[in-house]
Amino acid sequence: MQVANQIRDILTEQFSPVELQINDDSSKHAGHAGADPRGESHFSVLVVSEKFEGENRVNRQRLVYGALDALLKDRVHALALKTMTPAEYENALANKNN
């Protein structure tokens, strides 16, 4: 199974996101330290979930890192996270469109 699909499955199960975006940034890091020749080693992820309500940014990221722990140890070298509540996401979209 592709790493991106594994990330999607795990985050969907753990966080029931209302929005989930997973971008494979591995091609930008080809030849760099930590780049896996198999690819799928660098990702940018947006997770929008009600489970982040009341959690600060650091705790939200800890929750995601915890959920993806096995992949981070084995396949994923870099993970850029953006974690938001549904209200924060709606506000960001509204501000972007203004």
Is pLDDT at 62 greater than 70 in this prediction?
A: yes
**Residue 80 domain boundaries:** 3-97
SS3 readout for 12-76: HHHHCCCEEEEEECHHHHCCCCCCCCCCCCEEEEEEECHHHCCCCHHHHHHHHHHHCHHHHHHCC
The H or E element containing residue 9 is helix 3-15
Number of domains present in the structure of the chain:
1
Query: For residue 53, what is the domain's CATH number?
Result: 3.30.300.90
- Give tens-digit pLDDT for 13-39: 999 999 999 998 876 655 556 555 555
pTM of structure: 0.84
With bands split at pLDDT 50, 70 and 90, how would you rate the model's confidence at 8?
very high
